[in-house]
Amino acid sequence: MIELVLVYCLATDPIRCLDQREVREAVASPIACAMMAQTYAQDYLDGHPRLRLQGWRCEVDRPRESPA
């Protein structure tokens, strides 16, 4: 499974960041993941104006980490 992970930080405090995993639909390839990254990032930012995009990555077959 390929999963898009967007990293957002508070615009007023760039040290406070969070990973937002996009699970809207199955991603067929790393290239498809990279192509949709900007669109999904902008959609999320439209609803969260206090955040800014720090970066993104496509993870392949990486299990989700459970909270401690």
Residue at 67 is within a domain: no
Q: Could you count the other beta carbons within 10 Å of the beta carbon of residue 11? A: 11
Residue at 10 is within a domain: yes
Q: Is the pLDDT of residue 39 over 50?
A: yes
Residue at 45 is within a domain: yes
8, β-bridge pairs = 18, 53
Residue at 52 is within a domain: yes
Q: What is the pLDDT of residues 2-38, one digit of tens each?
A: 888 889 999 999 899 989 886 666 677 888 888 888 8
Q: What is the pLDDT of residue 54?
A: 92
Number of domains in the chain: 1
Q: What is the pLDDT of residue 68?
A: 46
Residue at 9 is within a domain: yes
- CA angle 23/2/47 to nearest 5° reads 30
Residue at 66 is within a domain: no
State the Cα–Cα distance between residues 54 and 29, nearest whole angstrom: 23
Residue at 68 is within a domain: no
19, β-bridge pairs = 7
Residue 35: give the domain boundaries.
2-60
Residue at 65 is within a domain: no
